[in-house]
């Protein structure tokens, strides 16, 4: 039996298939019921209205959406914040702008690594005549 502290309340509990203690599981289930009931009655609600009406945190509501417990299909105005900038989105973890920035940065980082590796190999090869010199130069850098 593995013991752990609940990340939500801090109490010690016997860890099972869930990462929170039984009391917090019950509290989360109650929060979900509040959200689901409110959304059934107010289909046009957005995340801030849901948060204000139920006192369930936006972080927890977002978790319900990502887990699939709250569906966006029947809630046309329900969106959750981008993980990078906070812009409201209906799919993925980031908005299109942040995803484009991230992909651009990754591409530049890959390009920088491949340019550096290729440049070092070419310089080492052209500056020395033997394979042993190439090996020594590569290990010294």
pLDDT in tens, 47-77: 999 999 999 999 999 999 999 999 998 888 9
Structure token pair of residue 30: 């109650």
Interstrand relation of 12-14 and 88-89 (parallel, antiparallel or unpaired): unpaired
Q: Taking all residues of the chain, what is their mean pLDDT, rounded to a whole number? A: 85
Looking at residue 132, what is its pLDDT? 55
* Burial class (CB within 10 angstroms; exposed 0-12, middle 13-18, buried 19+) of 56: buried
CA triplet 66, 62, 79: central angle to 5 degrees?
95
Structure token pair of residue 102: 């991230």
CB 57 within 8 A of CB 51: yes
Would the pLDDT of 122 be above 80?
A: no
Percentage of the chain with pLDDT > 70? Answer: 82
**Which has the higher per-residue pLDDT, 6 or 129?**
6
Measured in whole angstroms, how far is the alpha carbon of residue 18 from the centre of its chain? Answer: 19
């Amino acid at each position: 039996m593995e013991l752990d502290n609940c990340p939500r309340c801090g109490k010690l509990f016997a860890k099972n298939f869930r990462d929170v203690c039984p009391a917090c599981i019950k509290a989360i289930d109650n929060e979900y019921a509040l959200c689901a009931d409110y959304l059934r009655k107010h289909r046009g609600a957005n995340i801030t209205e849901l948060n204000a009406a139920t006192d369930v945190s936006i972080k927890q509501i977002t978790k319900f959406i990502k887990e699939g417990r709250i569906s966006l299909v029947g809630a046309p105005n329900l969106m959750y914040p981008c993980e990078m900038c906070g812009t409201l989105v209906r799919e993925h973890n980031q908005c299109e702008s942040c995803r484009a920035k991230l992909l651009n940065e990754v591409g530049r980082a890959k390009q920088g690594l491949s340019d550096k590796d290729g440049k070092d190999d070419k310089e080492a090869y052209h500056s020395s005549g033997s394979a042993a010199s190439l090996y020594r130069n590569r290990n010294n850098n």
